[in-house]
């Protein structure tokens, strides 16, 4: 159980250690981090030329269990997450049955314990059946271990329902994770409304659909003082609204996904349904605003919105295909390539947004390599280029827009609670 990762570049902004050093772990915990350790080091792992970072934590994923085990299961999804450097993931409530009661939350913990490769943090629904009208059993789900509440995939359009949910959530000190899209403004849109929707002849979803709901919910968050988190922010307008609210002292947080800050609506030119996602891929101007928001701290976290769909479901015409793309296995590579290699973020900032900040938002341990923390650790080679091949995808679904794309930065090994669960060569 005793391992020492030696000579790597340790990037632990939350724990305050940055630089070449050795990391000793034992019995599932970080024991010591220092420039050079010697004596009683247990098994030694040579990390020279590599980076050692805290295990990534994903605030936003869809494991599809229970109900759509043909798309993903707790086992296949957590295995894909592990390969992507995640040691803990929050999974959304839009399963079948919906996770709107403590039985489903218990079930997910049970499956994770039996079959999971990484820690699983279930999110409970805000409303029964995600119908947006009647509050779900929030108290009982909190008692069963739900880490947050969300109707993700759907917007809570009834402001009174959201107000009550926000007030209620403060009793448990759990955040509400919001999917923002005003359905009447989105109408029958299937992609971002703009130049490309016009050229392609596809109905558009205006940025306004997201901005209107973001503005409303910032007011509700301010009024109720609830912990509110904005999922998959995609528009320039939303970034600016969140920035202004934060500068007034409103305590909200926000995430962006790798696909929203790396792809634009121009990708839809070939009508490939792999690019259909909710919210839709936006314009280059929106992508720029997301990067600025990530840089100045308006956007606290990077989350995958890993949304598996089978080949059969996605192999339909663009307007009929379901929304969503998988993201666990490419998140760090895409973020490193798009944000760090280009100078938008420092490695420390990226690590904060993919580990410490998500941990803080859902109030879990992790995100740091401080002694006493769980030994959730990733060995990462920031210089290695790689190309995702479909045959290498571990997730049960293969709906990734990044297949065939060259990415920089590769996960070499992952420890969860001090156990080596993944190395480039094999899964434990
Ligand atoms: O594209 C998406 N797919 N966005 C969501 O918010 C939900 C997700 C899904 O469940 O497939």
Q: Confirm or reject: Cβ of 277 under 6 Å from ligand 1.
A: yes
Q: How far is the CA of 332 from the centre of ligand 1 (A)?
A: 20
C-beta of residue 192 within 8 angstroms of C-beta of residue 265? yes
* Residue 217 annotated as catalytic: no
* Stretch(es) of the chain classified as CATH 2.30.40.10: 3-52+374-427
The helix (H) or strand (E) run that includes residue 81 is helix 74-83
- Which ligand 1 atom sits closest to the C-alpha of 278? 1
**Residue 428 pLDDT > 80:** no
Q: What confidence tier does 421 reach under pLDDT thresholds 50, 70, 90?
A: very high
Distance in angstroms (rounded) separating the CA atoms of residues 380 and 344: 19
Task: Write down the pLDDT at residue 40.
Answer: 87
- Using one digit for the tens of pLDDT, what is the confidence trace for 351-391? 999 999 999 999 999 999 999 999 999 999 999 999 999 99
Give the predicted TM-score (pTM) of the model. Answer: 0.98
Residues pairing with 34 in the sheet = 22
To test the pocket of ligand 1, the residue of 322, 325, 397 to mutate (highest count of ligand atoms within 8 Å of its CB) is 322
The predicted-structure confidence for 179-191, as pLDDT tens digits, reads as follows: 999 999 999 999 9
Task: Give me the pLDDT at residue 425, please.
Answer: 87
- What stretch of H or E contains 160? helix 159-172
User: Annotated catalytic residue: which of 217, 305, 376, 381?
Assistant: 305
Closest C-alpha to ligand 1, atom 4: 278
d(CA 418, CA 364): 17
CATH code for the structural domain at 55-361: 3.20.20.140
Which residues have C-beta within 8 Å of that of residue 264, sequence separation ≥ 6?
A: 281, 282, 283, 284, 286, 287
Residue 210 has pLDDT above 80, yes or no: yes
Question: What atom in ligand 1 is closest to the CA of residue 232?
Answer: 6
The mean pLDDT of the chain is 98
Task: Specify the ligand 1 atom closest to the Cα of 322.
Answer: 11
Q: Is the pLDDT of residue 162 over 80?
A: yes
d(CA 72, CA 231): 21
List pLDDT tens digits, range 54-86. 999 999 999 999 999 999 999 999 999 999 999
Residue whose C-alpha is closest to residue 408's, from 347, 329, 340, 350: 340
Task: Kindly report the CATH number that applies to the domain delimited by 3-52+374-427.
Answer: 2.30.40.10
pLDDT above 90 (res 13): yes
Residues of the chain with CATH 3.20.20.140: 55-361
Q: Chain-centre distance of CA 212, in angstroms? A: 23
Q: Which of 189, 231, 276, 277 to mutate to test the pocket of ligand 1 (most atoms within 8 A of CB)?
A: 277
Give the pLDDT confidence of 22-49 residue by residue, as tens digits. Answer: 999 999 999 999 999 998 899 999 999 9
Residues 231/149, Cβ–Cβ less than 8 Å: no
Cα 257 from Cα 153, distance rounded (Å):
14
């Amino acid at each position: 159980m005793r391992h020492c990762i030696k000579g790597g570049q340790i990037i632990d902004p939350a724990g305050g250690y940055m630089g070449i050093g050795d990391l000793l772990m034992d019995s599932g915990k970080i024991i010591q981090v220092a420039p050079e350790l010697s004596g009683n080091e247990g098994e030694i792992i040579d990390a020279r030329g590599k980076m050692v970072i805290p295990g990534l934590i994903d605030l936003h994923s869809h494991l599809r269990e229970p109900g759509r085990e043909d798309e993903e299961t707790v086992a296949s999804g957590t295995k894909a997450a592990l390969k992507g450097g995640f040691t803990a993931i929050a999974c959304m409530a839009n399963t079948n049955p919906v996770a709107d009661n403590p039985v489903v939350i218990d079930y997910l913990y049970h499956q994770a314990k039996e079959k999971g490769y990484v820690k699983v943090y279930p999110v409970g629904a805000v409303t029964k059946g995600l119908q947006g009208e009647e509050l779900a059993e929030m108290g009982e789900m909190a008692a069963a271990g739900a880490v947050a509440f969300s109707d993700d995939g759907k917007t809570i359009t009834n402001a009174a329902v959201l107000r009550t949910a926000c007030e209620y959530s403060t009793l448990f000190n759990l955040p509400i994770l919001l999917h923002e899209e005003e359905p009447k403004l989105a109408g029958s849109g299937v992609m971002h409304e703009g130049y490309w929707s016009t050229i392609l002849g596809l109905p558009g979803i205006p940025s306004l659909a997201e901005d209107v709901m973001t503005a409303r919910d910032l007011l509700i968050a301010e009024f109720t003082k609830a912990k509110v988190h904005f999922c998959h922010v995609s528009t320039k307008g939303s970034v600016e609204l969140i920035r202004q609210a934060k500068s007034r002292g409103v305590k909200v947080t926000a995430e962006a996904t790798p696909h929203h800050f790396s792809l634009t609506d121009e990708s839809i030119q070939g009508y490939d349904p792999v690019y259909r996602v909710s919210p839709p891929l936006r314009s280059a101007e929106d992508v720029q605003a997301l990067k600025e928001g990530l840089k100045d701290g308006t956007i606290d976290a990077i989350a995958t919105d890993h949304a598996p769909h089978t080949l059969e479901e996605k192999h339909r015409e663009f307007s009929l295909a379901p929304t969503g793309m998988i993201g666990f296995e490419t998140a760090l590579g895409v973020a490193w390539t798009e944000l760090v290699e280009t100078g938008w973020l420092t490695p420390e900032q990226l690590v904060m947004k993919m580990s410490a900040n998500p941990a803080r938002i859902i109030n879990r341990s992790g995100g740091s390599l401080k002694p006493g923390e769980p030994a959730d650790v990733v060995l990462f080679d920031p210089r290695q280029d790689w190309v995702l091949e479909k045959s290498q995808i571990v997730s049960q679904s293969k709906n990734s827009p990044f297949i065939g794309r060259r990415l920089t930065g590769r996960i070499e090994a992952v420890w969860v609670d001090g156990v080596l669960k993944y190395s480039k060569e094999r899964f434990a």
